Amino acid sequence: MSATAKITGKGQVTIPAAVRKSLHLETGDTLLWQTDADGRLWVRRLEPLDLEYLAAVSRTLSEWDSPEDEAAYGNL
């Protein structure tokens, strides 16, 4: 798919409706802009972090949180 958009004086761009629909973009979504040395640009929608899941996983890692582990792996 191709679509065009102009940059405003404030650096803002309106994402064409077809692109928003294709990427399932909604108000409040976060986009990641990536460029390379050749001048190519990629834009993708970031999935929101599941903070409840991350907190649950974090609680299971306490067995790796000792002074010995820090001494052995702290410089990695």
Question: Is residue 2 domain-resident?
Answer: no
User: Strand locations in 1-76, DSSP E?
Assistant: 30-35, 41-46
pLDDT bracket for residue 47 (50, 70, 90)? confident
Q: Is residue 3 part of a domain?
A: no
CATH classification of the domain holding 33: 2.10.260
Exposed / middle / buried, residue 7 (Cβ in 10 Å: 0-12, 13-18, 19+): exposed
61: pLDDT strictly greater than 80: no
Q: Is residue 59 part of a domain?
A: yes
- Assess if residue 7 is contained within a domain: no
Domain housing 22: 17-73
In a domain, 9, yes or no: no
Cα radius of gyration (the chain): 20
- pTM of the full structure: 0.54
* Count of domains observed in the chain: 1
Give domain status of residue 67, yes or no: yes
To which H or E segment does residue 46 belong?
Answer: strand 41-46
Compute the distance between CA of residue 60 and CA of residue 36 in angstroms, rounded to an integer. 38
Averaged pLDDT for residues 37-56 = 84
Residue 10, domain member (yes or no):
no
Q: Is the pLDDT of residue 48 over 80?
A: no
